[in-house]
Amino acid sequence: MRLKKIIYFMLLSLFFLNNIAAQEKSIKVFNEQRAKQITIKENKRIKIKTFDGIKVSGRIKIIDDQTILLGNKEIKLSEIEKIKRNPLIISICSSVLLYYCSAALSITSITLYAFSGDASAFLFIIPSTAFGYAGMKFPNILKGYKTSSNWKYKIIESK
């Protein structure tokens, strides 16, 4: 019985040591002129624009020191023109807020027309459609890091 407890303890200790010592890959985005840097860990949501004009978004998987996998596409770091974080909560909240503004303006327009009979109340439909379209496009207000602004990308191992 005592030997069984020792074996369980050893296995549990090995499991925790493995998690503590495990290194996680991430992308280091840095600008040497401004002395600024950020780190984007693996499995985080990002948007990338390549020099070819291709835009890809999704969770990032790091394949090797020069290649990442994003949305079933392998992309080399040298092909990236712009990289931007794309958290899911910001995408959802901004879209929902814009849809609610669109619905509120539409309802206001219809209500004003119903009570006043003035056709100018339908002018609220114009910004309503703009808010609805903006909500469909999933706006991302976070800063993007472009190579044209001297930002560089490197894959590193972090804890």
Mean pLDDT of successive 10-residue segments in the chain (159 residues)?
73 61 78 88 90 90 89 89 85 83 88 84 84 78 83 84
User: Where do we find the tokens 């790091």?
Assistant: 62
pLDDT attached to residue 159: 65
Decide: residue 122, CB within 10 A, 0-12 exposed, 13-18 middle, 19+ buried.
middle
CATH of 23-86+143-158, one of 2.30.30, 2.40.160, 2.10.25, 2.40.50: 2.30.30
Which residues lie across from 24 on neighbouring strands?
158
- What pLDDT is recorded for position 142? 76
Domain coordinates in residue numbering, the chain? 23-86+143-158, 90-136
Q: Tell me which H or E stretch contains 87.
A: none
* pTM reported for the whole predicted model: 0.64
Helices and strands (H and E) in the chain: how many = 3, 9
